[in-house]
Amino acid sequence: MLALHLSRPFSSLPIPSPSAKSRPSIKPKVSCFVPHHHLHHSSKCRRAYTSVMIVPTGVGATVGGFAGDALPVARALSSVVDCLITHPNVLNAAMMYWPMPNVLYVEGYALDRFAEGFWGLQPVHQNKVGLVLDAGIEEELRIRHLQVADAARASLGLPVVECIVTDTPLKVEKWVDPKTGQSTGRIRNPDSLLRAVQTLIKRAQVNAIAVVGRFPDDDVDDIDDYRQGLGIDILAGVEAVISHLVVKEFQIPCAHAPAMSPLPLTQYLSPKSAAEEIGYTFLPCVLAGLSNAPQYLVKNSEFLEKSCILASDVDSVILPIDACGGDGALAFATRKRNKPLIITVEENETVLNDTPDKLGIEVIKVANYWEAIGVIAAHKAGINPNSLRRNRINNLRCTSVMLANGTAVSSATSIT
């Protein structure tokens, strides 16, 4: 929508009168500029700039491997780009969250399918969210989670429409993969979860699902490193397993919040882990994210009919330096057409070893997220990011042009 800029304050404009009919009317100046502070992402003068931020789950990322500690990065990025696509691991901070109108909350499995071109993302105004509670949750803890859902409905106006308890306990198990160092796990009764989701979809017509599974309580010594901002999130891997299961089966947004007994108070707690210890549940951020998460459209004619966002619309992808081997990252990096700028952050290390050099991926390496945001700002402005660095632009090479008879018209030269 075009912004209208008046040459003087509205209150000072002359009021038409019979005696003023012969005077030229004052017309507002029309501009293609939409102020950044007022829905900058809705400008139609240029194509919207879309960026994807990835921080894999349960891999001990220095930034984003704890309790929503990558959320400040997402907030900063969202102020620079028109549309930011990222996943719950980046945006979830247990009791904390931050509403950003130009950020799409996309579950990890769906993000991979989106990157591969199989799914599109359809932004929405609101979803009908269904809540699934594990039958293994004790009554007091179950009541706590229901109170959180009611608080989200009453205080935030979130569309949580129905809750269901699984017909059998899910029996969540978690562990660390000895080969990769990643956290992972399983639920012993996945069919119980799928039946509960199916019931909510049929009975309440929900189109987004929040799942709360009862996780085994940890020995405090086992998670001491995590509480101090070190190591990996032992819960995150199996949380991804749970949400992947639902999204793969039903193609709707899903996110998970673990139910556990509160940990004993400790004075020695890292700020990066603190968000998970200030309340009884991790559910608030999940309900907030799912309330307007985009819907997933499997590739068909609906892509064009509903003007959904496609992988070809992505301009840049930002991820940790050693986490380039995921399905989504590889799909973006190997696109033949409309390939996005891939930016890897050296400061954000994980337990993985999937570096761009090892995988043969062309990227721009940056030291930290400060630099990454600068690269994206330049890219969005239509500027070669290398032109902002010293001695990064070399002389332009001019190659020979061959005629049909094989005669060279010119030789390679440098233009200075």
What is the pTM assigned to this prediction?
Answer: 0.84
Residue 13: per-residue pLDDT? 37
Q: Would residue 210 count as lying in a domain?
A: yes
**Which of these three, 298, 315, 339, is where a domain ends?**
298
The residue that leads in pLDDT, 5 or 66, is 66
Average the pLDDT over 205-228 and give the result. 85
Note whether 219 and 156 are same-domain residues.
yes
288, pLDDT greater than 70: yes
Whether 337 is in a domain gets the answer: no
Q: How many domains does the chain have?
A: 2
Residue 374, Cβ density class (10 Å: 0-12 exposed, 13-18 middle, ≥19 buried)? middle
Q: Which domain holds residue 205?
A: 50-298
Considering the domain architecture, whether residues 146 and 260 belong to the same structural domain is answered as: yes
Is residue 132 over pLDDT 90?
A: yes
**pLDDT value at position 44?**
60
- Same domain, yes or no, for 38 and 64? no
Among residues 298, 324, 351, the one where a domain terminates is 298
Do 152 and 289 reside in the same domain of the chain? Answer: yes
Residue 170 within any structural domain of the chain: yes
Question: Is 32 in the same domain as 54?
Answer: no
pLDDT digits (tens, 9 = 90+) for 158-216: 999 999 999 999 999 999 999 989 999 999 999 999 999 999 999 999 999 999 999 99
Residue of higher predicted confidence among 267 and 54: 54
Q: Are residues 26 and 171 in the same domain?
A: no
Query: Are 91 and 10 in a shared domain?
Result: no
Q: Which of 298, 333, 355 is the C-terminal boundary of a domain?
A: 298
Residue 273 falls inside a structural domain: yes
121 with 32, same domain? no
- Given this model, what pLDDT does residue 31 score? 35
Same domain as 136, residue 282: yes
Does residue 108 sit in the same domain as residue 172?
yes
Locus of tokens 């043969």? 360
- 24 and 83 fall within a common domain: no
Specify whether 204 is located in the same domain as 245: yes
Residue 365 is assigned to a structural domain of this protein: no
Domain presence at residue 222: yes
